[in-house]
Amino acid sequence: MSTSDKYSLETITEVRPWTDSLFSFRTTRDRGYRFVPGQFARLGVRAPDAAASESKDGIVWRAYSIASAAHDEHLEFFSVVVPNGAFTSRLSKLREGDEILVERKSYGFLTTDRFEAGRDLWMLATGTGLAPFLSILHDFDTWEQYENLILVQSVRTQAELAYEDLIRGFEGSEYYGEYAHKLRYARIVTREPVEGAFRDRVTKLLSSGVLEENLGIRLDHDRSRIMLCGNPEMVEDSRKLLTDRGFRLSRRGEPGHLAVENYW
C-alpha cells in the first residue's frame, strides 16, 4: 500500500448493503495500523469538487468506528448514507477495488480500559452505533474479563437489524462458543412490530426497569459498566437517566461506570 505520514492508501475489498441507506464495507489494513476495540478511524475520500469547508487538499475526512476485530487483517465499517452528504454519498458509490485513505492514528475513548473491575458490560447502541460493540465483542479479553455481556441494538425497522446473524453466531462459534452463554442480546425495533423485539425506546425500557427485568440482570454500581453509542439524543438521554441513578461517567484518569460516543 502506498503511504504518507498522515494516512495510508487502502483498497475497498467488500461492500455489503443492508438497506437502501445502510451498508458495511471492508478495506485492506496497513500492517502498522493499531487500534483498541471501540475506537474509530478517520477515513478520507478524494472529492476534488467538494466545498472548501468540507475538504482539505481535495480530500474529505470522516470518523468511522471500526467494526472489525483488532486481530483481523482487514478493517470493517458500518455506515448510513446521509442524503447529500459530501462523504457518505461519495462513499456509498465506492466499489470493490476503489481506494480509500485511512489516517494512521486511531481515536476515541469508547474502550473497556476506561473502566475498573466491572462484572457486567452493557453495550447500548442505536443504528450504526453498533459498530464499536462488534469490535469489542470480537476481543477475547472482553469475554474473559466480564461475567455477562449485554448488547442492546435499537433500530427503526427490522431491515436495519444489521449483523443479527453475526451476533447470534457467537453461540456455536469455534472461537467464541465456550463464552457465548455470557451474551444477552436485546433487539429494539421502534417503528414496526417484530416478534421477540422490544418496541419502546431504550430510554423508556431503562427507566421502567423492563429491560433489566426481561434480560434477567440488574444495573448495579459495583457490577455494571455501561457503554452508549449512536444517536446523540439517545446518548444524552440515557446518560442523564443513568447518572441520575448514580452511575458516573469515566473521565481521563478517573474510571467510572459509563463511557459514551456520539455518532454525528
Which residues of this protein are in contact with ligand NAP, per CB under 6 A? 80, 82, 126-128, 154-156, 188, 190-191, 201-203, 231, 233-234, 237, 263-264
CB of 182 to ligand NAP, least distance (A): 25
CB of 235 to ligand NAP, least distance (A): 8
CA angle 6–8–113, rounded 5-degree value: 75
Residue nearest to ligand NAP (CB): 127
Q: Whose Cβ is closer to ligand NAP: residue 80's or residue 182's?
A: 80
Q: Whose Cβ is closer to ligand NAP: residue 59's or residue 180's?
A: 59
Distance between CA 81 and CA 132 in Å, rounded? 18
CB of 231 to ligand NAP, least distance (A): 3
Backbone angles phi, psi at 18, to 5 degrees: -105, -45
How many other C-beta atoms lie within 10 A of the C-beta of residue 75? 24
Helix, strand, coil percentages, rounded to 5, for the chain: 25, 35, 40
Distance between CA 241 and CA 237 in Å, rounded? 6
CB of 191 to ligand NAP, least distance (A): 5
Residues contacting 43, CB < 8 A, separation 6+:
61, 62, 63, 64, 77, 91, 100, 101, 102, 103
Distance between CA 16 and CA 67 in Å, rounded? 13
Q: Whose Cβ is closer to ligand NAP: residue 190's or residue 243's?
A: 190
CB of 238 to ligand NAP, least distance (A): 7
Distance between CA 123 and CA 135 in Å, rounded? 12
Q: Whose Cβ is closer to ligand NAP: residue 55's or residue 142's?
A: 55
